[in-house]
Amino acid sequence: NAGVMQNPRHLVRRRGQEARLRCSPMKGHSHVYWYRQLPEEGLKFMVYLQKENIIDESGMPKERFSAEFPKEGPSILRIQQVVRGDSAAYFCASSRRDSNTGELFFGEGSRLTVL
Amino acid sequence: QKEVEQDPGPLSVPEGAIVSLNCTYSNSAFQYFMWYRQYSRKGPELLMYTYSSGNKEDGRFTAQVDKSSKYISLFIRDSQPSDSATYLCAMSFQGINDMRFGAGTRLTVKP
């Protein structure tokens, strides 16, 4: 009964390169959420997706960031032309379709370091 | 003013102490209140969930919500070294989609 799987766990990129972070939700979960966590700051919502649909991307920066959750395969958070300020832990979470209990299941995060 | 305020600590207590963690919030429309625990280098995991005002107890953990004061608390009785983690409060208006997290309080329980 695998939980939310994220990879890579650690990613190092130089300024200007692209970062791709992948997330496979828990089995039976059709809702995926991406959060960013900076040191001493809370989790900041970025985007909420269902299969093939972006439901809410109000937390996503307008440029360089994009997310998808294709019919087959993991959800991907893509950051183009990374800058040092993108260095953070990026967490993916999933929930059941009908969950309204606030129970998000989080992955262990992908830690991006931009040199 | 942040929507959710949480003292980041750090908070250090001896084993067996009662721990009190708190959050305040500004938007009275929040209805769902959660506490997540996050161990170092791990993802957060849901610890407690309450709807509206009141208390909820689960083993050594008690969550309290005071909507009139816009204040929520998590109490840990008989704290253990294994409770050492960062505790994040979270709240939402309607469900998961609009959850807001506090910055987290780092707790260390010393043996």
Q: Which residues of A80-108 are buried (b: 16+ CB within 10 A; e: fewer)?
A: eebeeebbbbbbbbbbbeeeeebebbbbb
Tell me how far CA of residue B105 lies from CA of A57, A107, B9, in angstroms. 27, 20, 5
Whether B87 and chain A come into contact, CB under 8 Å, resolves to no
Across the range A6-17, mean pLDDT stands at 97
Instruction: Looking at the complex, report in whole angstroms how far the Cα of residue B101 sits from the nearest Cα belonging to chain A.
Output: 6
Which amino acid is residue B33, in one-letter code?
F
A99 has pLDDT over 70: no
With CB atoms and an 8 Å threshold, state whether A108 touches B43.
yes
Q: Which residue of A has its CA nearest to B89?
A: A42
Across the range A87-92, mean pLDDT stands at 96
Instruction: Looking at the complex, report in whole angstroms how far the Cα of residue A30 sits from the nearest Cα belonging to chain B.
Output: 13
The answer to whether B98 and B1 have CB atoms below 8 angstroms apart is no
Give me the percent of chain A exceeding a pLDDT of 90: 70
Question: What Rg value do the Cα atoms of chain B yield, rounded?
Answer: 13
A98 has pLDDT over 60: no
Number of cross-chain residue pairs from A and B with Cβ atoms under 8 Å apart: 64
In this prediction, residue B99 carries a pLDDT of 84
User: Among A54, A96, A57, A56, which residue's Cα sits nearest to residue A75?
Assistant: A54
User: Across the 111 residues of chain B, what is the mean pLDDT of every consecutive 10-residue run?
Assistant: 86 96 94 93 90 89 94 96 96 80 94 95
In this prediction, residue B54 carries a pLDDT of 85
